[in-house]
C-alpha cells in the first residue's frame, strides 16, 4: 500500500447506574424533553457554555417542542463516556470532542484534529464541502450516532511543562496528559501518555502524577490555574491545529424526529461551530497577556529538530491509522486530498498575510 508523507515542512454499567437517578425524558402532546451530556465541567467558558447555548437554541427555535436539558461532566455520566451514553440511549445527545473515543476506532479523531492537519476553517470546509460529513455519517452509523460539527477552539498550545524542552531527550519519560492521535505521537517519542478529563488535570499536575499537560489554550488554561504549577507554556500546538467539537445525537431518535426538528438540531450545531470558535478567538489574546504579565508565565517555542521528530512520528501514526480498514483509508485519503487542495491557498492567502502583519508598519497599522 502506498505510503503518504504527512509532514511537508467508564464502562456501560457505570453509565446506567448514574443515569438511573434521573427521570426519563418527557413526551407530551408532541413535545419532547431530551437530555444532553457533555465532557465539560459545569459552566466552563467556551466549550461548557457553548454546549448550553446549543441546548437553549434548540429549545427556543423549536418553541419548546424539543426541550434540551444539559448535564455537565459527572452529573449524569462520567466526562469521557458521552459517546457510549448517547449511543445506548442513556442520553439523547452529547457535546464533546471525537478524539476522546479513539478506542472505538482511531480514525474518529480526524473529526477533532490530527497532528499537522487542518486549521479550524479548513476542517469546517472539509466536513461541509469536502465530503467529510458523508464519511462521518458512515463512520458513526454502526454506533447508532449522528455527528455534527459544533464548535472549534482553534489552534491550541502544545501545553504546560515544569521543565524546558531543549531536545527530544526531554520528551522521553515525560508523563504527559494529552488525548487522541497526538498522544500516540508522544508515546512514539518516549513519553508516558495519560488521558484525563479537564476537571482532573490540575490536581494531577499539582500532585506530580503528570509532569506536563495540554488542555486547550489561554482562554481556559488561565481559569484552570496551570500557571501555579508549571511556568513554561509551549507552542506550536502541532498536535491540534484545529480542535473541532461535536454534537452527537442518538441516530434512532434523530431519524424519528420530524424534518423541521432535524433541521433545527443541524442549524444549532452549525451556529455553535462559528460561535464557539469566535469566542476563543476573542478571548485567547487577553488571557495570554494576563498569563504573562500577571503570572510570570514563560512562552517558549519547541526547537525545530524536536518538531521535525514529532512530524516524523505523526506520519507513522497517520499511516498506521490509514491501514486499519477500508473506511479508515477512505477517511484519511479524503482528509489528505482536501488538505492538498486547500493548503496552496491558505499558505499564500492567510499565512503570508499573517507573516507580513509582523512587519514594522508606521502608526500601528500592524497592531
Residue 48 covered by a domain: yes
Q: Does the pLDDT value for residue 300 go beyond 60? A: yes
In a domain, 178, yes or no: no
pLDDT band at 360, cuts 50/70/90? confident
* Residue 329 belongs to a domain: no
CB contact set of 361 (below 8 Å; sequence gap of 6+): none
Q: Is the pLDDT of residue 4 over 70?
A: no
pLDDT reported for residue 60: 98
Q: Give the residue, 354 or 139, on which the prediction is more confident.
A: 139
Long-range contacts of 338-342 (CB under 8 A, 24+ apart): 338/118, 338/122, 338/125, 338/126, 338/130, 338/131, 338/132, 339/117, 339/118, 339/122, 339/126, 341/130, 342/118, 342/122, 342/125
Report the predicted TM-score, pTM, of the whole model to 2 decimal places. Answer: 0.89
- Please check whether residue 239 lies inside any domain of the structure: no
Nine cell digits for residue 210:
503528570
User: What confidence tier does 7 reach under pLDDT thresholds 50, 70, 90?
Assistant: very low
The answer to whether 249 and 269 are in contact (CB under 8 A) is: no
Residue 358 banded pLDDT, cuts 50, 70, 90: confident
Q: Is residue 295 included in any domain, yes or no?
A: no
Domain with residue 68: its CATH number is 3.40.190.170
How many degrees, rounded to 5, is the angle at CA 80 between CA 58 and CA 133? 55
Q: Are 147 and 93 in contact (CB under 8 A)?
A: no
Per-residue confidence (pLDDT) for residue 23, from 0 to 100: 52
Residues 238, 312: Cα–Cα separation, whole Å: 12
Tally of domains within the chain: 1
> Tens digit of pLDDT for each residue in 317-336?
999 999 999 999 999 999 99
Instruction: Please give the Cα distance from 204 to 176 (Å, whole number).
Output: 10
Percent of the chain exceeding pLDDT 90 equals 88
Answer yes or no: is pLDDT of 280 > 50: yes
Residue 98 has pLDDT above 50, yes or no: yes
CA-based torsion, 168, 169, 174, 180: positive or negative: positive
Which of 169, 145, 129, 156 has the alpha carbon at shortest distance from 270? 129
Instruction: Please state, for a pLDDT cut of 70, what percent of the chain lies above it.
Output: 90
Range of the domain at 42: 12-154+244-283
Q: What is the pLDDT of residue 361?
A: 72
Instruction: Indicate the pLDDT class of residue 25, thresholds 50, 70 and 90.
Output: low
pLDDT value at 296 more than 60:
yes
Q: Are strands 93-96 and 192-194 parallel, antiparallel or unpaired?
A: unpaired
**Range name among 4-8, 164-168, 261-265 with the lowest pLDDT average:** 4-8
Residue 55 resides in a domain: yes
Write the pLDDT tens digit of every residue in 187-238.
999 999 998 999 999 999 999 999 999 999 999 999 999 999 999 999 999 9
Omega before residue 193 within 30° of 0, cis: no
Predicted local distance difference test score (pLDDT) of residue 121: 96
Q: Residue 173 domain-assigned?
A: no
Instruction: For 140-161, write each residue's pLDDT tens digit.
Output: 999 999 999 999 999 999 999 9
Report, as an integer, the average pLDDT of 82-98. 98
With cut-offs at 50, 70 and 90, classify the pLDDT of residue 6.
very low
Asked if residue 18 is part of any domain, the answer here is yes
Q: Is the pLDDT of residue 15 over 90?
A: no
Does 9 have pLDDT greater than 70? no
Q: What is the pLDDT of residue 10?
A: 37
Amino acid at each position: 500500500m502506498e505510503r503518504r508523507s504527512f509532514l511537508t515542512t467508564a464502562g456501560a454499567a457505570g453509565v446506567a447506574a448514574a443515569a438511573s437517578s434521573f427521570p426519563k425524558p418527557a413526551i407530551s402532546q408532541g413535545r419532547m424533553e431530551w437530555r444532553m451530556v457533555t465532557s465539560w465541567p459545569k459552566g466552563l467558558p467556551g466549550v461548557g457554555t457553548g454546549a448550553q447555548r446549543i441546548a437553549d437554541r434548540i429549545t427556543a427555535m423549536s418553541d419548546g417542542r424539543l426541550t434540551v436539558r444539559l448535564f455537565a461532566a459527572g452529573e449524569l455520566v462520567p466526562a469521557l463516556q458521552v459517546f457510549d451514553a448517547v449511543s445506548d440511549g442513556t442520553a439523547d445527545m452529547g457535546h464533546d470532542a471525537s478524539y476522546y473515543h479513539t478506542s472505538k476506532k482511531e480514525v474518529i479523531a480526524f473529526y477533532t484534529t490530527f497532528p499537522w492537519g487542518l486549521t479550524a476553517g479548513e476542517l469546517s470546509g472539509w466536513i461541509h464541502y469536502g465530503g467529510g460529513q458523508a464519511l462521518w455519517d458512515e463512520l458513526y452509523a454502526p454506533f447508532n450516532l449522528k455527528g455534527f460539527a459544533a464548535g472549534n477552539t482553534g489552534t491550541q498550545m502544545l501545553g504546560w511543562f515544569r521543565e524546558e524542552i531543549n531536545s527530544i531527550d526531554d520528551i522521553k519519560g515525560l508523563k504527559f496528559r494529552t488525548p487522541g492521535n497526538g498522544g500516540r505521537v508522544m508515546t512514539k517519542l518516549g513519553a508516558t501518555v495519560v488521558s484525563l478529563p479537564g476537571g482532573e488535570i490540575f490536581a494531577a499536575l499539582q500532585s506530580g502524577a503528570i509532569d506536563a499537560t495540554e488542555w486547550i489554550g489561554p482562554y481556559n488554561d488561565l481559569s484552570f490555574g496551570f500557571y501555579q504549577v508549571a511556568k513554561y507554556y509551549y507552542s506550536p500546538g502541532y498536535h491540534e491545529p484545529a480542535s473541532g467539537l461535536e454534537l452527537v445525537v442518538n441516530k434512532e431518535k434523530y431519524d424519528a424526529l420530524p424534518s423541521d426538528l432535524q433541521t433545527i438540531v443541524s442549524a444549532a450545531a452549525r451556529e455553535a461551530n462559528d460561535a464557539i470558535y469566535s469566542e476563543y478567538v476573542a478571548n485567547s489574546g487577553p488571557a495570554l497577556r494576563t498569563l504573562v504579565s500577571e503570572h510570570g508565565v514563560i512562552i517558549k517555542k519547541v526547537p525545530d529538530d524536536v518538531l521535525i521528530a514529532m512530524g516524523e512520528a505523526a506520519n507513522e501514526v497517520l499511516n498506521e491509522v490509514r491501514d486499519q480498514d477500508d473506511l479508515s483509508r477512505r477517511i484519511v485519503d479524503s482528509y489528505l486530498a482536501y488538505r492538498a487542495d486547500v493548503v496552496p491557498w491558505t499558505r499564500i492567502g492567510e499565512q503570508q498575510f499573517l507573516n507580513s502583519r509582523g512587519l514594522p508598519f508606521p502608526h500601528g497599522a500592524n497592531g
